[in-house]
Amino acid sequence: MWNIDTNAPLQSILDNPECPPLLRRTLTGPISWQTRNETSVQKALTSPRAAPQWVAALLAMGVTITVEGDAGPEEMPLTVGAESPSPHILRIPPLFLPPMGGDEGGWRWGEARVTRTPADEPIVAVVAVVEVNGDVVRQARVVLTGVWPEPVRLAQATEQLVGRPLDEDNIRAAAEAVEKEVAPRGDFRGSEEYRRAMAGVLTRRALGQCSQQEASDE
């Protein structure tokens, strides 16, 4: 278990050799070095617009937090937003720490995004984390940014993958369900129709990456 002090800056997460590849991927790109140093973990969780893809990765990984309760420290699932509990510890499960995947746990991850330029914040982004046991999906979490009224949210539609093979037909069906579930708001970077379409396309890509990782490990 990797316990992260929520007062720490995001840059310290990236600098830590234990940082999982998925978190490393979502902390780079459009998030500048200055932003990573000026933004604490706590700020990123309470104001997800600061690092939405990183927060999406945390939700997809199913990380937990430790908060101070009336009876002492309490561990609970991560939630984000201004009204969420204020954690003092972010707990990354050991199964996500390098090396991730392989025979222990069978976890796979995928990430896909669409941007105007490589340096821009993604218009829509998808992070998928899937646990596969043999040929069957045991858990699947897909989190999207840019397609909800809030900055980031876990999609419910991909729960239909559980108990099924992570094959092309099931991935396509899950992506179509996500496309129907999202509630995007259009702006100058992308219309509602464009964002909805990208939600489906990127979900399919991210889950496809999970499927390819599964195949490569067999």
Domain residues of the chain, as ranges? 2-96, 107-217
Residue 191, CA distances (Å) to 64, 159, 194, 196, 197 in order: 34, 27, 5, 9, 10
Question: What is the homologous superfamily of the domain 107-217 according to CATH?
Answer: CO dehydrogenase flavoprotein, C-terminal domain (3.30.390.50)
At 164-176, the pLDDT tens digits run 999 999 999 999 9
pLDDT digits (tens, 9 = 90+) for 78-124: 988 767 788 888 888 876 776 554 444 488 999 999 999 888 899 99
3-class SS string, 180-210: HHCCCCCECCECHHHHHHHHHHHHHHHHHHH
Domain 2-96 has CATH 3.30.465.10: yes
Task: Say which residue the tokens 């129709």 belong to.
Answer: 193
Taking the model in full, what pTM does it have?
A: 0.90
| 129-148: pLDDT as tens digits | 999 998 899 999 999 999 99
